[in-house]
Amino acid sequence: MNKQVRVRFAPSPTGPLHIGGVRTALYNYLYSRKNNGKFILRIEDTDQSRFVPGAEQYIIDSLAWCGITFDEGVSEGGPFAPYRQSERKDIYRRFALELIRSGRAYYAFDTPADLENIKQKFKSEENPNPQYDAKIRPFTDNSKAKGMEDALQRIENGEPYVIRICIPENEEIIVHDLIRGEVRVHSSVLDDKVLFKSDGMPTYHLANIVDDHLMEITHVIRGEEWLPSAPLHVILYKSFGWDPPQFAHLPLILKPDGPGKLSKRDGDRMGFPVFPLQWTDPATGDVSSGYRESGYLPDAFINMLALLGWNPGTEQEIFSMEELISLFSIDKVGKAGSRFDPDKAKWFNHTYMQRTSEEDLVYQLKNILYSKGYSRDENTLLKIIQATRERFTLVPDIWKQTWFFFEKPVEYDQEVIKKRWTEQSLSFLTSCREALSKIADFSHSIVEFEIKKIISDNGFNTGNSMNILRLALVGGSFGPGIYQIIDILGQNETIERIEKLKAYKQ
């Protein structure tokens, strides 16, 4: 009988959650939902020296914004609680001692100075960076070299120590990876990693293995950066006599230009976020931008991330979360890194903004107006949205593309004036003001007829005249069709704005 699929996302609270981490969480989420499994959030905070206040809550808030939900975890609880590693120290100590008893691990008392001396002693041209392994082990200060009785006495005397894994000699370690196939590593290239530290906390390697086993994790889907640790983890599973889960190491998200992994530096340099939510560093006060605050919709953000490494094998690019769950499979995840494209991220958001209902956009505009102390009737707001929505790429564009319907220009684009203003411009504006003030039925078609008649009857230049009229209405050369703007502004407001530009130029 097959086990129920159980996957986990296990971030460390050492700072804001990178979008690569969000993608890892997303793929775990999709896999669990596709296979009717369970998804667990575990916080791996064993390295207390790197703990950052607020980072754990930031992770939880970020994933909630993305629509990624958990069945068990630090907030949800569950049958394998606690889900925060700092609250599981006694569990790790118990299993570390089990490895000591079986001879699979040992006590080590080497000081940093000892380790440096050993490194210098065994350093050679062929081996410039010797590691703590089976060759060096007999010459170091540990229970393998000096005996268990000596080690226990020293521990009783209060000497600081660590517990190291005893890597077996001359063994080929095989990692079965769902994305990369079979990965073979010889044990001679592995070092005796520390499993339990002198501060009473486990390292990632021990805590990760113990928790995945106790929490009955069936699939470990994580970033490519953990692939070098996988052989050690396989050895640990074997040391405990446990069956390892199935591994899947995801490809990196690469920077838009040049080689290497996408970093915050790339985002700062090229002007895009690399974190889902805005982050304020508690130590320095530095603020890093987030996708939410930059105006991205969570569904668009998730859609974009899903395709950075996974492809269903079709030309389709827009997927709902339900479609992603239905189509997702590990065998469609590529081995090679995926290059992040900030323009493509905007394209996804623009597409989602265009798919947003008019009612929802009106609602959002209404909220913006309320915050600024403005109000308009529902019909006018609907007209404004219909006239401008195709220009919306990010949420802030709702105001950027509509503000001029609510605020008169306070300044005028000097480039437009320089290029378009002629000695006929004042006469054109005066003629418009007079004609528009006499119209009883201020409809789109009649306004258009009157303005075109003014231009034709007076021999005004059409291009210059229309640009000057737009300048009067919005302060520059932007916005939707000019007759749409006039229709929305209405008769009185249109005339007032024409008079304002005339006064400015007289």
End-to-end CA distance of the chain: 88
Amino acid at residue number 177: D
Structure tokens at 404: 């001029």
Please give the helix or strand (H or E) that residue 329 lies within, else none.
none
Structure tokens at 31: 């896999």
Task: Tell me 356's DSSP state.
Answer: S
Task: Tell me 172's DSSP state.
Answer: E
Structure tokens at 436: 């528009």
Q: What is the DSSP string of 230-282?
A: HHHHHHHHHHHT----EEEEEPPEEPSSSSSB--HHHHHHHT--SBSS-EE-T
- Burial of 91-123, coded b for 16+ CB within 10 Å and e otherwise, reads bbbebbeebbeeebbbbbbbeeeeeeebeeebe
- Burial of 55-64, coded b for 16+ CB within 10 Å and e otherwise, reads bbebbbebbe
Q: Cα torsion at 122, 124, 127, 129 (round to 10°)?
A: 60
Beta carbons within 8 Å of 133's beta carbon, 6+ residues apart = 167, 188, 190, 191, 192
Question: Would you report the helix, strand and coil content of the chain in percent, each value rounded to 5?
Answer: 50, 10, 35
Q: Coil, strand, or helix at residue 84?
A: strand
Given 197, 264, 366, 500, the catalytic residue: 264
264 is catalytic: yes
Catalytic annotation, residues: 264
